Chain A
Amino acid sequence: MRNVLAIARKELSIYFTTPWAYIVFTFMTGIASFFFVSLIQTFKQVQDMARAFGWARLPQDFSTYRNLTDGVVVQLWGVVMFVTLFLAPFLSMRLFAEEKKQKTFELMMTLPVRPMEIVLGKYLGGLGVICATLALTIVFPLAIALFGSGESGSAIEWSTVLLGYGGLLLWGAACMAVGMLVSSLTESQMLAACLTFAVLLPWMLLRNLAQSAEEPLRSVVSYLSFDAQLQNMIKGVLDLKTLVFFGSVILFCVVLTHRAVEARRWA
């Protein structure tokens, strides 16, 4: 356990003393802020229209804008989810690929550390940085809560928001797990980032891609899509299925990474 924490601490120290993580933070806050502002504006417009014409006369889609939680925060979480997909590969790419390139992997292989400890330590470090990235976005619901007001007292439903946020954290954790696995298979960081992205994007869009397939394949493939699994969480519904799904993905990636690290010993 001590080794796992030491490795995690080392990864975090490198993340926070080099530019990459900060570039990722900037992108996350920048894009999220942009969408936040535009969502608020849309919300305002719809509310004004509703006040003028009444809710019954507006198209069905606009009913999401009835309150701040569904209209702004939930949609913002959808945006953040997509941004995470793009940013996580840049964070996870260096986990193993850099070590191999710098020849420090040999150090890991000759120190009395078990391969599983290396994998878990690095994963923990990666988790830390992705949670820091996502933590930046909690500012937005907080801002609404502080400055907004709703009919029933608080401007937003925290339970919905926090569940959606939990879904985001799970998603970030899964992205890092996939990224770590890909990173352990190559020496080039760029390649690791590209491959991670190439794995995550189709996986996310699997449901859309499956639309034209026939039944049972369509159901199976849609079930496997990240997008489908996250929908409920984002909307504020706690589904055990989602937890199991992401837990399995993370476990699967960690085990495979362990195999890849072990394989180096028998090269």
Chain B
Amino acid sequence: MIEARGLTKRYRDRVAVDHLTFAVNEGEILGFLGPNGAGKTTTMKILTGSLPASEGSAKIAGYDVFEAPLEIKRRIGYLPEFPPLYPEMTVAAYLRFVATLKGVAARQMRSEVDRVAALTGISEVMGRVIQNLSKGFRQRVGVAQALLGSPPVLILDEPTEGLDPTQRADLRALIKSLAGKHTVILSTHILPEVTMTCEKVLIIHQGKLVAFDEIGNLASIYGPGAVLSLEEIFIKLTAA
């Protein structure tokens, strides 16, 4: 479903993403891990078509990100690092706006907006102006806009950021329920969440891929029978 081959992004003399190659199959949930500044957000931006790569190629659902960006954008829901909200709009107006641009038919607009609101737990604040919402609610509105139109691919950059433990649990349950029907890439610093929601994990460090495997198999890098927590593996791999 998602294929990246030799993806590279250079900023003058700095390499943000260095020949990244990986593939995510349909219905999988991939955890994207790495220290701050490793290149996670940059990679996500390249996959969603908002940033061009210097080298390499990326394909989503068979469409090339550079050659058919419009087709890609029709098939993805993206939650950036900072939720892209218009503070002057109400939640309902904002979601309707995004739904229209995503191509949701006018007839289904209401039910679609209500659906994602129920999924993310924001039904009670639909009439509030976004700038008056707490961080947790704003984050959830951001997740809701990514879910509009039920896109086959979801790319979520730190989706549980700013949420309290209950909300985090709800969001984790939501993401788990998406497996199978949707392909999800989610990046986060909270390793226990990765263990709970993701099947596969990709660890990126200084732009390079240092691990890409199922969680259970990762520990075996350090010898057969090794039992290491994800945190220990992460620290070992990103020590340099």
Interface residue ranges, A against B (CB under 8 Å): 2-3, 6-7, 10, 13-14, 17-18, 102-107, 109-114, 265-267
Contacts and interface: CB of A to CB of B under 8 A. Distances in A.
Given A265-B50, A267-B51, A104 B88 contact: no
30 contacts: A3-B100, A6-B100, A7-B101, A10-B89, A10-B93, A10-B97, A13-B89, A13-B93, A102-B84, A102-B86, A102-B87, A103-B80, A104-B84, A106-B45, A106-B80, A106-B84, A107-B84, A107-B145, A109-B49, A110-B50, A111-B73, A111-B102, A112-B74, A112-B103, A113-B101, A265-B52, A265-B69, A266-B52, A267-B51, A267-B52
B70 A114 contact: yes
A25 B84 CA distance: 30
B52 A111 contact: no
A17 B93 CA distance: 13
A112 B101 contact: yes
A106 B50 CA distance: 7
Contacts of B74: 112
Interface residues of B, number: 28
Interface string B79-98: 01010111111000100011
Contacts of A104: 84-86
Contacts of A113: 73, 101
B50 A109 contact: yes
Contacts of A266: 52
Contacts of A102: 84-87
A111 B101 contact: yes
Contacts of B89: 10, 13-14
Q: Which 3 A-B pairs have the closest CB atoms?
A: A107-B84, A112-B73, A109-B50
B49 A17 contact: no
Contact of B86 (A3, A14, A110, A114): A14
Nearest to B47: A110
B50 A111 contact: no
Contacts of B88: 14, 17-18
Contacts of B45: 106
A107 B49 CA distance: 11
A260 to B, nearest CB: 16
B185 interface: no
Contacts of A267: 51-52
